[in-house]
Amino acid sequence: MSSRDFVYRKFSDFYSDPATVIPSPSSLGQREIGFLLFKERIMLRHKIFASIDDLKLFLSEEVPSDVYRSCAYYENPAAEMDKKGWLGADLVFDIDADHIPTSCNKLHDEWTCKKCGFADKGEPPKQCSKCGGQKFDTKTWVCEQCLGSAKEETTKLIDILQNDFGFSNKEIHVFFSGHRGYHVHVETEAVKSLDTMDRKEIVDYVTGLGLSISKRERKQASKFFLSDFAWNKRIKQGMSKFISDTTIDDLKNIGLKSAISNIIFTKKELILRKCIGEGLWESVPGVSVGTWRKLSEYVKELESSKIDTVVTTDTHRLIRMNGTLHGKTGLKKVEFPLGSLDDFDPFKKAVAFKEGTVKLYVSDVPEFRLGENVFGPFERETVVLPTAAAVLLICKGRAEVAK
């Protein structure tokens, strides 16, 4: 059979299995359900299901590659968009490794110029250095470093939602997306009626966009100042972490001159105790208000959460449904307890296919782990792999079923 038929059959087995659990989102009957179909490769939208059992029956019969549900609640989810009757929407965040600068993409991501065929590693350039072409075929991968970076951003986001916005653990739901990141949903009446501009304000806060670092004017002299609430407090905490661990090279790399870098490095204890601890920012001779502001801007970038801003502001957004398979990996979208984020292992908890092996021809793939097993690297070779690994490689365009 073809590789596509193989993946289709495995997805069909998954959705037809009585043991497969698809958790129902709240108010299922008020949400639009959408699907990306395997064979036709088209998006099917504006579906409505009265119960999760009806949805599971549909999945077993139609076998989509991807399943989505609306973040919004509607009077009539099956109607066209302008006739649905919007009732409100959850507040949803998408944290994806694609939006986070990581060094690992230079090792496992590839691009090929569609015009001349020139290929290289990492992110595609704006234009091909060989022919000037601006269209590329890309191959991405998901590794432990990618997902570790996404987890760090998710941790920062949750901290902001809890401590700055006051959302409770019961109102925040966190999921592995099934591919390269995490989804965070806030479900509470307080957010349902927020419009696009309201959500944009939240996005700006989470990302630190437009944040003005505080200063006070005292006796006609500019004085640096950080309060103990909201972003000012976050910057103080972040600056404390950064100063504690910094090297002279770190300081130079953010644009500080050698002399100032040396002062900050040698006066760490004084800065932590007097400047950050007591707010006496003028305690270190040679470090100006401009330097503190530059450090604060850098720390702001470290402390902000790198989310997909478009997802959060879209009040009609479709998001992947919990418990369903991701068409680019064959892994599941999985919800887990908020307090388990640090220990959550997507390469164990999101594996859907636990039995069988498959003979594959692998074009190229870096070393990767699924469960307790490590595979690869492979390049232009035939191997026998567990079903979950085979589905992952085929979905990522790195392998084909061997004859």
b/e map of 198-212 (b: 16 or more CB within 10 Å)?
ebeebbebbbbeebe
Q: Of 66, 90, 109, 308, which is the active-site residue?
A: 308
352 sits in which H/E element? none
- Our answer to whether residue 94 is catalytic in this structure is yes
- Our answer to whether residue 96 is catalytic in this structure is yes
Q: How far is CA 4 from CA 14, 393, 396, in A?
A: 15, 12, 12
Q: Which amino acid is at 29?
A: G
Q: Of 94, 245, 250, 343, which is the active-site residue?
A: 94
In terms of C-beta density within 10 A (0-12 exposed, 13-18 middle, 19 or more buried), how is residue 282 classed?
Answer: middle
- Our answer to whether residue 66 is catalytic in this structure is no
Spatial distance between the Cα atoms of 172 and 350, rounded to a whole number of angstroms: 20
Q: How far is CA 43 from CA 76, 89, 318, 320, 391, in A?
A: 19, 22, 12, 13, 22
Spatial distance between the Cα atoms of 311 and 89, rounded to a whole number of angstroms: 12
Q: How far is CA 78 from CA 61, 70, 82, 155, 357, in A?
A: 20, 11, 11, 36, 41
Q: Of 96, 120, 159, 204, which is the active-site residue?
A: 96
Q: In what order do the strands lie in the sheet with 399-401?
A: 378-386, 357-365, 399-401
Hey, is 367 helix, strand or coil? Answer: coil
Q: Which amino acid is at 373?
A: N
Q: Which active-site residues does the annotation give?
A: 94, 96, 308
